[in-house]
Structure 1
């Protein structure tokens, strides 16, 4: 790590307060050009500690940057990850308060609900499939506590910023029809995303590392370096297979997963 522990704790506190107050911060990488990937994760872990001290719980994890195109654009050669806090889970079919967010966008994903623990290193695709109790349609709501584009220069944030910022995660809506992993070829699960009745995005789950469970393989082995693992009952968002779609108050979203049903909600 390049940043001092005291600075990491200060930046984590800024993010914690930004999420509470719904205010964007300037990109950390602009203020601290020496920032590294390790610093991003250190800030993220310090932020999680603040959330836990405030009474929140970790309900699972999200995996991002799973597509080759996103990795190239972010100048990174692997995915990233962040926790799912308990207040990030929203019910489908209703209104979600837009004032919970700063600049929300939505992505189409599959969520894996684990039936047993996964502890790396050495976790394989078959281990993940054996440990998964259900796979269900999901929509991730992403946000920017650290500005996506600098307010003055319009320079995009760096991957270090995104990692520190909970990998942009702000919410998850699960719905549709949960299925067992052996009931479908998960690579061929597709979805159509409609915003206000107009189709915006389509995609196949194979766009996530050729198989949506491969991100979870990567995560389980990545967490092992910190002595951590994935726990039974946790939700793991496997990664988006559509581009982010921006949202404003009044926008309604309807995502059709074919045989896996529909997830829908409205920003109010």
Structure 2
């Protein structure tokens, strides 16, 4: 594993890149021996420093849970990051594009937990029982590490490339709708760019919630009541720029619209 001082230095470098909205060279190009455990350690230092500065953790994002996203990134296993309260937007909001780097949008479902969820043997049924409701969401990607040649180590260290989340207005309990068949039709400036269905995420979008609970158990942690879990994209990421209007139609779960300014 990387030495603690190297982990701290890389976390500080990523924090500065976040503040200045710039991109840094790949960690794996400079430290080819870095492991997945190193990358979560870097993310953990960055997370703890943000918490100490007063930011409030409201949930977790899971990434790379669909074949579409794995093929788009060349990364073949899921990852996760943290979400803070000041990264949450709502349908109809203006999204300040200058806050992010390599700005892209993904189509997802988010889940709000009504009770804690923990492994080591958490199943999809357990996850569905712990979920209060599902809500449509767009994830805004925010990558501070150069994209070409990056590995899962680079992505995880960069908080799994999470930037922000735009929430819809329709809430559905898992017993009210077959979540596997929630559609997503993603448009930029009136032109359809990506389509998919939520079953593209591990066969069921809540499967990732169970995966994350089991992953957390390995570190002696659990998912807590009230947390928002962003479950992973079922479309490829769509690039956006200043002035773009983004719309996603989720069929029975409504529409999300936002503008990047």
TM-score between the two structures when normalised by the length of structure 1: 0.94
For 1:65 and 1:97, the matched residues in 2 are separated by: 25
Determine if the alignment matches structure 1 residue 168 to structure 2 residue 161: yes
Residue of structure 2 aligned with 1:189, choices 172, 182, 190: 182
Cα 1:258/1:69, change in 2 over 3 Å: closer
Cα 1:74/1:35, change in 2 over 3 Å: farther
Alignment correspondent of 1:38: 37
Residue-by-residue CA offset, 1:209-255 (whole Å, 9 max, x unaligned): 00001111100000111111111111000110000000110001010
Residue 259 of structure 2 aligns to a residue whose secondary structure is strand
Alignment correspondent of 1:68: 67
Quick check: 1:132–1:181 contact (8 Å CA) kept in 2?
A: yes
For 1:171 and 1:25, the matched residues in 2 are separated by: 20
For 1:52 and 1:196, the matched residues in 2 are separated by: 37
Moved over 2 A (4+): 68-78
1:79-158 equivalences in 2 (<5 Å): 79-149=78-148, 156-158=149-151
Alignment correspondent of 2:206: 213
For 1:73 and 1:95, the matched residues in 2 are separated by: 27
Determine if the alignment matches structure 1 residue 260 to structure 2 residue 229: no
Residue 255 of structure 1 aligns to a residue whose secondary structure is strand
Residue 146 of structure 1 aligns to a residue whose secondary structure is coil
Quick check: 2:69–2:237 contact (8 Å CA) kept in 1?
A: no
For 1:75 and 1:146, the matched residues in 2 are separated by: 15
Alignment correspondent of 1:153: none
Quick check: 1:13–1:50 contact (8 Å CA) kept in 2?
A: no
For 1:175 and 1:77, the matched residues in 2 are separated by: 29
Provide the aligned length of Structure 1 versus Structure 2. 261
TM-score between the two structures when normalised by the length of structure 2: 0.97
For 1:46 and 1:195, the matched residues in 2 are separated by: 36
For 1:264 and 1:181, the matched residues in 2 are separated by: 24
Long gaps (5+) in structure 2: none
RMSD between aligned residues: 1.3
Alignment correspondent of 2:194: 201
For 1:21 and 1:87, the matched residues in 2 are separated by: 17
Alignment correspondent of 2:218: 225
Residue-by-residue CA offset, 1:134-155 (whole Å, 9 max, x unaligned): 1000000001111113xxxxxx
Q: Please identify, of 70-79 and 138-147, the stretch whose mean Cα deviation from structure 2 is larger.
A: 70-79
